[in-house]
Chain A
């Protein structure tokens, strides 16, 4: 039937770019920390040389997080309410998140310290805790978005996994870029070898493959889903959010990197670096559409 909304109140998309930026930073930090932990926690020798650097890069990234998050609050000076035990609300994922975001950098710093002191045992124990915290920090961001039954796009158990995979690949990408830049400032002997970069690239490639599979699952569910899911996919993601979804996520972070990494170009370091840059851009796009498109449909409700 012909129908038209003639008058309604307007509502904002309440979580915007700043939150997307925060999701990206936390993700890249967690991803790069996982790489760091491969050497010292999981004992893969190959990764030991970059552990300290990756961990420090991860801490550096995380330092930006509080600034972004607190500036985004309506009342920035009240951020300490989040760590006030009397105010703490256990059913809110945000309340847990606040503690994770605070404890995670601290434990990483301790971990970095023990790597620096070459204390294998303690580094392993603290590292393990940090890995758990890193994973949870990112897991919770997925949960925050997921537990809103009215936001059909986000309301899926796949959410944390998609977030985590994105975190993993963007973290590796970020690390690759940093390592290549770092090589420029090091004397040739201390430089990270080509094989190492290529290995990281392969690892990122498999992550991208997994991510593509998750996105496919999610999209198929939305395609065959209820009206709201279908509209979200066809009109919001392919329409309004075409840029972040189709061009940034699907093209930049899935299609192009896969070609770059698994084709013959994959033997070239610069191709891997290009793939890393693309992945980082694409994952940022994913953060944008994930945060905003989920709220978008309801702004006019």
Chain B
């Protein structure tokens, strides 16, 4: 096993360390039906506001009629063993838990969004100022937590419990008896952008290559329009106001 890099105050990884837990997720793409239940279960669990997603499903179509494929790729925070967001945070608001989670301290976060710049997976977002429940955190960075509040009480994460196709498997990868350890041991698994050295801990069975440029080049016209609407209307932009609208063709 290659040595994991460490920066800053992040905890040493517990991956492969005997007697310690390292939670990981396996996504079985041979089972995923693209129903987006994981996104919705996550939204319901955290009352996630509109416009941001902790968990989402990327849908890709490829091929030419009639040989067309559609692929679904559920996306989560990868809870990297070498998380770029943790080392970038100036106030230690995000940190690596000993059991493998990358977590966020809402009350410490200043909302500088450095972690979002650092994350190669777009797994982080800034919560908007308005929430359904006014007691929920606002205007701080947020991310998938692997449902730490559930896992610590012996419950599987919300998306895993809700998955309609039983395609998400979660568990302690250090435990050789656990389902995830067995799956990762037996099947050819892949992680997203492993060349970045982040050591992601969400393993995909049956993943095909995907990266930024591919995603950028192959947006459908509908997606471009939707994205422009999002940039125009989403209130976060009033203090981010960062994005460029792309060319919209006139009809």
Residues of chain A at the chain B interface (Cβ within 8 Å): 1-19, 71-75, 78-79, 81-82, 84, 87-95, 97-98, 144-145, 147-151, 227-228, 231, 235, 240-241, 291-292, 295-301
Contacts and interface: CB of A to CB of B under 8 A. Distances in A.
A10 B55 CA distance: 12
Interface in B56-86: 56-64, 70, 75, 84
Contacts of B141: 74
Contacts of A19: 242
Nearest to A98: B90
B8 A74 contact: no
Interface stretch (B11-19, B105-113, B154-162, B177-185): B105-113
Contact of B241 (A16, A91, A228): A16
A91 B87 contact: yes
5 smallest A-B Cβ distances: which pairs?
A74-B111, A16-B242, A91-B8, A150-B120, A94-B90
B212 A292 contact: no
A81 B108 contact: yes
B164 interface: no
B114 A92 contact: yes
B243 A231 contact: no
Contacts of A88: 90-92
B112 to A, nearest CB: 6
Contact of A75 (B116, B117, B139, B234): B139
B223 A8 contact: yes
Contact of B110 (A2, A79, A148, A299): A79
A12 B231 contact: yes
A91 B140 contact: no
25 contacts: A1-B62, A4-B60, A4-B219, A6-B60, A7-B57, A9-B75, A10-B230, A12-B234, A12-B237, A13-B243, A15-B113, A15-B240, A16-B240, A16-B242, A16-B243, A74-B239, A81-B91, A81-B110, A88-B91, A94-B89, A94-B114, A149-B196, A150-B196, A295-B117, A297-B213
A296 B62 contact: no
Contacts of A78: 108-111
A9 B112 contact: no
Interface string B215-249: 11111101100110011001011011111101100
Given A8-B56, A147-B88, A227-B213, A75 B240 contact: no
A14 B242 contact: yes
B193 interface: yes
A98 B114 CA distance: 13
Interface in B155-199: 193, 196-197
Which of B7, B59, B218, B240 has the most chain A CB atoms inside 10 A of its CB? B240
Given A12-B231, A78-B110, A1 B212 contact: no
A71 B111 CA distance: 11
A6 B114 contact: no
A17 B114 contact: no
Which of A71, A73, A231, A240 has the most chain B CB atoms inside 10 A of its CB? A73
A159 to B, nearest CB: 13
B214 interface: yes
Contact of A74 (B122, B126, B226, B237): B126
B205 interface: no
A64 B91 CA distance: 23
Contacts of B58: 5, 7-9
B223 A89 contact: no
Contacts of B1: none
Contact of A71 (B56, B119, B227, B239): B239
A297 B242 CA distance: 13
A246 to B, nearest CB: 14
Contacts of A149: 84, 120, 196-197
Nearest to A10: B230
A89 to B, nearest CB: 5
Given A18-B241, A149-B196, A300-B219, A7 B246 contact: no
